[in-house]
Each structure stands twice: as structure tokens, then as C-alpha cells.
Structure 1
């Protein structure tokens, strides 16, 4: 795919330039009237700016191959109009690459340039930006509609399609046993308290707490404080046997919320201890807690380290502490695991929300 911008005195002159540089198969993508400065900027002259695209498979994409120069003749008829209507576009070739697009970004129409800026502000990796923008260009040309409203709509649709399907999101609390795990500093204990408080206050469930985080006294004390405020029992477990006893003790409870130790995700021993302590079975719902402010590479390493542990869904914390959600999007897209909750503050239980893929994309682009 080749995209190029031409500036000429008239559409006829522009058509000649396009035909000379791109050939007869070039298609007008966008055109508008502009003023061209002359004589050190003291005088201006009316001109036309045209963006044309050439694709390798133009002829194959059309049902009937046009006669040589047919597209150029169409552009000549628009010389006296303020803005030329785009020619019926072809389906762009699958041979086109994101590298092709990156090379010609500077000549994209303004709605596509705005989409490019949104993707960059969202913090998406360059290769994802280029891939999405390439698909967006194909989709916009195919529809023949390059208005900002249409481009924005297609951009959101493309991003939603790259996320796990909606049925993998927003499961909520469905199991009796709910466990949160992840690396240190992710905010697991506070998030666990939010889930428990919501379950008790909103759904009127009978709840209890368990914790295997015996490495930090402060963590146990923090959870004790939440348990006292909610008037819920808490069991501190130092072994798998104590975990099993706690399960028996809480047999009559609706939900048991289990906190785990926050450790360096690079320590494999932590994963082994987690698997030995927690009875991962069908009666347990597990959430991997990740900080939205963490780097993408760190998130990816955490997910890799926990690959041997069943992960039902993600919970992304600290969304209020980051300027972009690009890393979160990338992890969701690559893992195909949905996000159950996002947290956006320290208040319990208020600062937690569940979103759909569409709602998350709107947040991403805001």
C-alpha cells in the first residue's frame, strides 16, 4: 500500500501528478481546498490538496477492472467543487503491512491522524498502534466514510475486538471461596476488603476472612481492622492444614475471602507455597491482582510466573494513579483473560467498579 499527499493548482493538475507517480490504479482518499502562500507569505493562491492511495490488489478487489485513466477522469470533474467526493474505494490488500502505514502516517486525513494521537495517548505499544491504525484505514476506505464520527466508531469497535469477549468480563463473586494473589504492593488486601464489604452490605451475604499472608504483621493487622468493621470472623493460616480447618469452620458462610502474601513475583518459591496452601479447585474463584500503574513488561512477567495457577479473571488496581491504560489493554488482549474489576482509590467499598469491554475502551481513549 502506498499513500501520498499531493498539492496542486487544480484537481486536473493533481490528477496528472497522481497518475505520474502512482499510476492509473490510484484512488482518491481525500481532497480539500487550501491556500498556498507565495511571495514570502504576502500573497496566497487557491490550491487543492489531495491524498491518494495505491494498493497492489486494486484490480483484483474491483468486480470490473476500469479502463486506463478512468479514476483520473473522475477527479477532473471535481475541479470546481470545494471538496471532492471520495472515489468508491477498493478493498485494501492483505499484503499491506503496518510498516507501510507507519511510513506514510504524515499524509493521513485528519480523522485518522486524530485516531493515531488517541492510540499514542492511550499508551499502546508501537506495534499495536500501527496494527490498529492499519486496520482502521482499511475499514474506513472500505466504507467510503472518513468522517470523524465514523472513524472514531470503527476505532472503538476494532479495539473491543482485540479484547477478551464480553462473557469473560464482569463475572462478579460467584463462588464460596474467593482468593486474591499477585505481587507485592498491588493492593490485594484493600481490594479484598472492598469485595467483602460490597458482598455483605449490598448483597447481604454472610462473609468471613482467611489470610495466608503471615510474612507481614501489618497486612494481618490491616485485614483484622476490616474484619472488625464488618463484624466478620478472620482466620490466620500458617499451613495447608490450617486452611482446611478454616474451611470447615466457615462451612455455613456464603463467601470466604482469602488474602495471600504479596511477594516478589520473580521468586518461584512464592508460587509453590501458594499452590501448596490454597486448595485450587472448582469451588474457588481466583483473581490475579495487577497494578495498572505497572510497566507492561512487568505485568507480562507476573502473568508468566503465575501461569501454573488457575486465574479466573484479573483485577487491575490503582487506575487513578496512571495516565494511560495501554499496558492493561495489552495484557488483556494477549492473555484473553477478562477483567472482573478496576479499582480507582483507597475508599472501601466505594472505589471499585466493573466495566464491559466497550466501557473499558472508552476509558482507554479518554
Structure 2
């Protein structure tokens, strides 16, 4: 008989080692908890001592040959096995199996290694542990549930691994199917931070067009078709700018996006280029010198300015500016993730005059933050958006994402600090050209 001692953290770990060393015919003679290591009797760690034995004539079961796997697959499988191992060790410690209990009746067999040990209910072969045959009523025991839960956990992990590998294979095959020009376009859209949903949809459309025509498109042709498709998607939202009959324009948005400068640019455009009488209202009394900044622009443009501190001040301000053809209102930049702050700003936007409310966002911000802000204001009927700081970024996909995903109507693009030059009406064709850039070189 061959006897071997194992020092492990938990029984499942020992079972795996015993099967490897002694084979499935091995039996566990004794298990007990011991303490090892430490210093001067302190800080000792708990371990599990497992004594296993196998008949000398027993033949160790050979493991089947393994197929070579890719490095990334091997790493993932190893991660799954480690997770399963930790899960099994933790559960085995909390709910010990019968084999973990000490067996005095088999201790003598360990001491006298010359005596053969029979495979009884107390010393079962490991093969029997792997495939136990128990009555139905015993299947409800905690030990049985533990084994069933562990097996189900491993099955689920392997299923997830298989699905992941299928996904990787499909993506790899998809990359191989793309022509050189479409692959270059996909890289361009990724750099522009276009939503992957729209990017994949565009790539799929172009790939199908290549199949129908039986030829790979040139770079110029790919870019041309992509521009046509993007414009077609955006066109319904680009047709609605600021209403011509609007007499009050409210500007809302986070702090630091350039609302005050944008208002000055638009005031100069309407007053100088269109000859309209313009007035200012500001409620941005939270930010230091915000009123002084707008007052400076008002003095330069020679337009009146009214300051309001609450909704009760609005009727008086509108009365003072009643002879103006267009009133531009600046609101305070607040934390618009807060429903309270949005409601507070919205209370200042009530008027009996034809009006428009325009959300101002900076292209230097995160798309996720812009989406969160837009979602807050859409609840109050805001559907127009103005983008600033175009000159401070080289990624323009956020515009497309907000317009298409949030169904917002773009109005203007602002690109600098010069008043009134650095602002222009949103043009769908010009924007798509900016988004795609020049075709990649063949």
C-alpha cells in the first residue's frame, strides 16, 4: 500500500492532488485540522491535513491528451478554474463533508501500512466520490447541494467561456471580411468616438453595398457613401433651427461651457447682421463677475441688460425690455445632475412670449455627462442644443451621438472667443465632412 500525506487549505484542493498522484482508486484515511507556521506559537495558520492511500497494485489513471489552445483561451480557463477552486474551498470550510471528520477506526490502518484497507463507506474510492449513487432522499443533504452547486457553477463558467470565444471568432472573421477602405473608415469613426452602435450599422451598410456590386470600394468611394448615409440619418434633426418668430431665447447648461460668450455672439449677429433690436436678461448671480461679463458685452453692443434674482423679477424685466424684438436670457450654470437645480432653472423659463430654450454644451466634456444633462432637460421639453469649444477638440462624434440618441436639434456651432465671428449655424453637410475628414491614403 502507498500512503501519502497532504497539507492543504481545504478538502477539494486535496482531492484534486490525490487524484493526480494516486489515481481514482485512492481512499482518504483521515482528515484533521492543524496549525502551521507562526512565530513563538502566534500567528499560526489553519491548514487541513489529509492522509490518503492506494493499493500498490492500483494503476494510476492516465489523463487524456489535451488539445493545444490559444494563450488567451488558456488564461481564461485558468481564471475560471481558480475562481471555482476558491469557491469550493470557501464552501468546504463552512460546510465540511463527512470525509473531513476524523475516523478512529481507520487510524490503525495508517499506522500498519502492511495491512490492506478495504473500501468501506468510511474509506470510499475517489471515483465513488466523483460519481456517487445515493438514494433520492439523501440528495437533499447540504453536502449534496454543495457538490451540485459547485458543478453548476463550473458548467456556467464554461458556457460563458464558450460564448466569449464564439464572439471573438465572429469579430475576427468580421475583421477579415472588411475591405481595406472600410476597415480604415471604421478606425476613423472609433477615433472620433462615434457610438459603436451607429458605427457598426454604417460599416454593415457599406459592406452589404460592396457585396451587391461585387467589388471593394476605393477610399474615396467609401468616404463618399459614408457621408451620404450619415447625412441621411441626421437630416431630420438638422431641419429645425431656432424659430424665426421666437422673441425670447433661454440658454441653459452647465457652468463653464461658454453660455455668456455665446449669447454675446448671437446678440451681435442678430443686431449687426440682421438689424434686430436685442436685449439681455441674466439670472446668473451665483458665479462671481458673471453679471459684469455680460454687462461689458451689453455696453459694447449698446443693448439693455436686466438682472433677475428670482422668477418674481421676470415680469418687471420683460416689461423693461418690451420694446426689444429679441431677448436673450442667460441662466446660472449649476449641477444639472440634480433634479432640484433643473427645476429651479426651469422656473425661470416661463413666459407668455414665443420662446425657445437652448441647451449649451461643451465638446470638451464627456459624452456621458452631456447625455445625463440633456436627459434632465428633455423632461421639461428642451429639444434644441448648441455646441461650443469646437476648436478645443479633435473628436466630433459626440455631436452625432447626442443628436441621434437623444433626438436633439442642433442649432449652432461655436469655435472660439471672437465676438461675433466664431459661431455659425449648424450645417449637416459641413459637420459630416468634419467628422469623416479626408479619405485615408490608398
TM-score (norm 2): 0.57
Task: Give distance in 1, aligned partners of 2:357 and 2:375.
Answer: 16
Q: Is 1:117 the equivalent of 2:214?
A: no
User: Are 2:366 and 1:289 aligned?
Assistant: no
Q: Which residue of 2 aligns with 1:43?
A: none
**Residues 34-55 of structure 1, C-alpha deviation per residue, up to 9 Å, x if partnerless?**
xxxxxxxxxxxxxxxxxxxxxx
How far 1:142 sits from its partner (Å)? 2.4
Of 245, 251, 254, 2:322 maps to 251
Alignment of 1:110-149 (within 5 A): 110-144=180-214, 146-149=217-220
Structure 1 distance, partners of 2:410, 2:280, is 23
Gaps of 5+ in 2: 1-166, 438-442
Comparing 117-126 with 288-297, which one deviates more in the overlay?
117-126
CA contact (8 A) 1:317 1:344 kept: yes
Question: Aligned in 2, Cα 1:168/1:351: closer, same or farther, shift over 3 Å?
Answer: same
Q: 1:99 and 1:118 mapped to 2: Cα distance?
A: 23
Cα distance in 2 for partners of 1:184, 1:120 equals 29
Match of 2:350 in 1: 279
Contact 2:250/2:329 (8 A) holds in 1: yes
Residue 103 and residue 305 in structure 1: after superposition, are their counterparts in 2 closer, same or farther (change >3 A)?
Answer: farther
Structure 1's 244 and 261: CA in aligned 2 closer, same or farther, altered over 3 A?
Answer: same
Aligned partner of 2:386 in structure 1 is 315
Match of 2:283 in 1: 212
* CA drift at 1:276: 1.6
- Matched residue SS, 1:306: helix
Q: Supply the RMSD in Å over aligned alpha carbons.
A: 2.2
- Higher alpha-carbon deviation: 182-191 or 103-112: 103-112
For residues 286-333 of structure 1, give each alpha carbon's deviation from its aligned partner in whole angstroms, at most 9, with x where no partner exists: 110011111111111001111222224110001111120111211111
Equivalent pair of 1:163/1:336 in contact (CA under 8 Å): no
Match of 1:343 among 404, 414, 417: 414
- Shift, 1:217, TM fit: 3.3
Corresponding residue pairs, total? 270
Measured at CA, do residues 175 and 346 of structure 1 come closer, stay the same or move farther in structure 2, by a change above 3 Å? same
Give the equivalent residue in structure 1 for 2:266: 195
> Mean Cα displacement is larger for which, 102-111 or 308-317?
102-111
2:340 pairs with one of 243, 246, 269: 269
8 Å contact from structure 1 (residues 140, 151) kept in 2: no
Q: Which has the larger radius of gyration?
A: 2
User: Does 2:249 correspond to 1:178?
Assistant: yes
Q: Is the 8 A contact 1:280 1:310 kept in 2?
A: no
Q: Which residue of structure 1 lines up, in the alignment, with residue 39 of structure 2?
A: none
SS of 1:185's partner is coil
Displacement of 1:118? 2.0
Residue-by-residue CA offset, 1:18-67 (whole Å, 9 max, x unaligned) = xxxxxxxxxxxxxxxxxxxxxxxxxxxxxxxxxxxxxxxxxxxxxxxxxx
Q: Aligned match of 2:294 in 215, 223, 232?
A: 223
Change (3 A) 1:257 1:119: same
CA–CA distance in 1 between the matches of 2:357 and 2:317?
18
2:237/2:410 contact within 8 Å kept: no
